[in-house]
Amino acid sequence: MTIETGSSKQRVLSGIQPSGNLTIGNYLGALSQWVKEQHRYESYFCVVDMHAITVPQDPATLREKTREVAALYIASGIDPQVATIFVQSHVPAHAELAWILNCFTPIGWLNRMTQFKDKAAKQQADTVSAGLFNYPVLMAADILLYQAHQVPVGDDQRQHLELTRDVAQRFNYLYGETFVVPEPMIRETGARVMGLDDPTKKMSKSEVDSQYHAVYLLDDLDWASKKIMRAKTDSYTDIRFTNDPERAGVNNLLEIYATITGQPHDAIEAHFAGKGYGVLKREVAEVVVEMLRPLQARYREITSDPAYLDGVLAQGAERASTVAERTLKLVKERVGFLPPYRRP
Ligand code: ATP
Ligand code: LTN
């Protein structure tokens, strides 16, 4: 496809909702990939506050978490000079394109979305918003506005990416080549970190039943370690990677270890051969803590100067708007909106 992006590099876009405290799941599944790929692609990373309000949020907390998530992007290693970091609601083109795409998305496609069904089931039926239902269309707008080729996300976002591709293809079919059809970028290990308290559930920042569910990026390090030591395991003794649902806890700890250390599975199994779950947990806790320590130090540095973050987000919104407006203008022409008149 030959959609002009004005750069020799392919584009990447991704986002995280400021809907709670970021977990090591967000880091291993998404953020760490962004950091790794930021130089290879022209990258856009947004804090998706408009997605966060699809479920109830306290305004002051939302403001605070939006800044926290942006600072965590930088603390994780995203360089604002290399990649564009911005807040979704600062670029109105997201809302505008989402509306247009809503008009090209059959309800049947949205009815199939499992994340909607899961999230809706957890709320009282009469409080589930139309925004929650339309959530994937806003996500499609985020991605398509930037003509992103690759979208680095965790495994749970596969279905939303598929919908984004379907919407892009439908629009391109109806109006001619307009959008790059994006590909999901999902890593082999770490794309689905499970809850420490219940390894049958995805580790999540917003759906937390127990204080032992997740390790948060800003957790006190001793507390992070304690949570890993309390992770649910099983009554077997051998330590190996497995798909056995009964052994999901041990497998999850091994996956976390593998993702952080980058070691191959057989080397890890050899390393833990003959050792007990206590040793496994202690070593996983160690690598997690050593991953978080420098990240937290950088976070403290960044947040000690609020004006710095203001500047990053101002510049990010400007750069993002330039790209987003270009796509939006083309889309408006294609669907037949009258261009705005200027007074002579
Ligand atoms: P929420 O619990 O608020 O719905 P979440 O923790 O699932 O959110 P999102 O903001 O929806 O996080 O997702 C941000 C990114 O982190 C996405 O790319 C998502 O796939 C990834 N991600 C979230 N949880 C995990 C996990 N447990 N393992 C791997 N990746 C994850
Ligand atoms: N729906 C995503 C968050 C998200 C996103 C995006 C991810 C919103 N817009 C654009 C990638 C690209 C989630 O992880 N729940």
Nearest 5°: the CA angle 67, 28, 201 is 100
Q: For ligand 1, is residue 207 a contact (CB within 6 Å)?
A: yes
How does residue 308 score in pLDDT terms, banded at 50, 70 and 90? very high
Q: Which ligand is nearest to the CA of 52?
A: 1
pLDDT confidence of residue 160: 98
pLDDT confidence of residue 1: 46
Say yes or no to pLDDT of 70 above 70.
yes
Task: Please report whether residue 286 resides in a domain.
Answer: yes
Stretch 128-135: mean pLDDT, rounded? 95
Q: Which residues neighbour 321 within 8 Å (Cβ) at sequence distance 6 or greater?
A: 90, 91, 93
Stretch 76-99: mean pLDDT, rounded? 98
pLDDT confidence of residue 124: 87
Question: What DSSP designation does 49 have?
Answer: H
Same structural domain for residues 311 and 163? Answer: yes
Residue-wise pLDDT for 5-38, tens only, equals: 667 899 999 999 999 999 999 999 999 999 999 9
Same structural domain for residues 100 and 126? Answer: yes
Task: Please report whether residue 194 resides in a domain.
Answer: no
Task: Please report whether residue 120 resides in a domain.
Answer: yes
Same structural domain for residues 18 and 144? Answer: yes
Q: Please give the distance, rounded to the nearest whole angstrom, from the Cα atom of residue 16 to the centre of ligand 2.
A: 6
Amino acid at 168: A
Q: What's the CATH number where 127 sits?
A: 3.40.50.620
Q: Please give the distance, rounded to the nearest whole angstrom, from the Cα atom of residue 46 to the centre of ligand 2.
A: 9
Is 202 part of the annotated catalytic residue set?
yes
Task: Please report whether residue 215 resides in a domain.
Answer: no
Proportion of the chain above pLDDT 90, given as a percent:
92
Same structural domain for residues 156 and 20? Answer: yes
Same structural domain for residues 158 and 234? Answer: no
Task: Please report whether residue 54 resides in a domain.
Answer: yes
Q: What's the CATH number where 259 sits?
A: 1.10.240.10
How many other C-beta atoms are found inside a 10 Å radius of the C-beta of residue 25? 25
pTM of the model: 0.96
Say yes or no to pLDDT of 82 above 80.
yes
- The burial of 225, by beta-carbon neighbours within 10 Å (0-12 exposed, 13-18 middle, 19 or more buried), is given as buried
- Helix (H) / strand (E) element for 90: namely none
Q: Please give the distance, rounded to the nearest whole angstrom, from the Cα atom of residue 342 to the centre of ligand 1.
A: 44
User: Which of 279, 276, 280, 297 is closest to 221 using CA atoms?
Assistant: 297
Same structural domain for residues 132 and 65? Answer: yes
Residue entry with tokens 């139309």: 130
pLDDT confidence of residue 143: 98
Residue 88 Cα: closest atom of ligand 2? 9
The rounded distance, in Å, linking the Cα atoms of 270 and 272 is: 6
Task: Please report whether residue 328 resides in a domain.
Answer: yes
Same structural domain for residues 75 and 169? Answer: yes
Say yes or no to pLDDT of 125 above 90.
no
- Domain span at residue 117 reads 11-187+306-335
Same structural domain for residues 316 and 247? Answer: no
Say yes or no to pLDDT of 207 above 80.
no
Same structural domain for residues 282 and 317? Answer: no
Q: Please give the distance, rounded to the nearest whole angstrom, from the Cα atom of residue 224 to the centre of ligand 2.
A: 26
Q: Looking at the 3D structure of the chain, how many domains does it have?
A: 2
Q: Which member of 65, 122, 205, 329 is catalytic?
A: 205
Counting Cα atoms < 13 Å in the Cβ hemisphere of 270 gives 5
pLDDT confidence of residue 5: 65
Residue 136 Cα: closest atom of ligand 2? 1
Same structural domain for residues 321 and 255? Answer: no
Is 119 part of the annotated catalytic residue set?
yes
When mean pLDDT is compared across 13-17, 233-237, 305-309, the lowest value belongs to 233-237
- Exposure string for 226-241, b = 16+ CB within 10 A, e = fewer: ebbeebbbeeeeebbe
Stretch 192-201: mean pLDDT, rounded? 96
Say yes or no to pLDDT of 2 above 70.
no
Stretch 143-163: mean pLDDT, rounded? 97
Q: For ligand 1, is residue 250 a contact (CB within 6 Å)?
A: no
Task: Please report whether residue 199 resides in a domain.
Answer: no
Task: Please report whether residue 203 resides in a domain.
Answer: no
Same structural domain for residues 287 and 314? Answer: no
Residue-wise pLDDT for 322-337, tens only, equals: 999 999 999 999 999 9
Helix intervals (H) in 3-129: 24-26, 32-37, 49-52, 59-76, 93-102, 107-111, 114-121
Query: Quick check: 136 and 168 in contact, CB under 8 A?
Result: no
Same structural domain for residues 158 and 66? Answer: yes
Stretch 277-290: mean pLDDT, rounded? 98
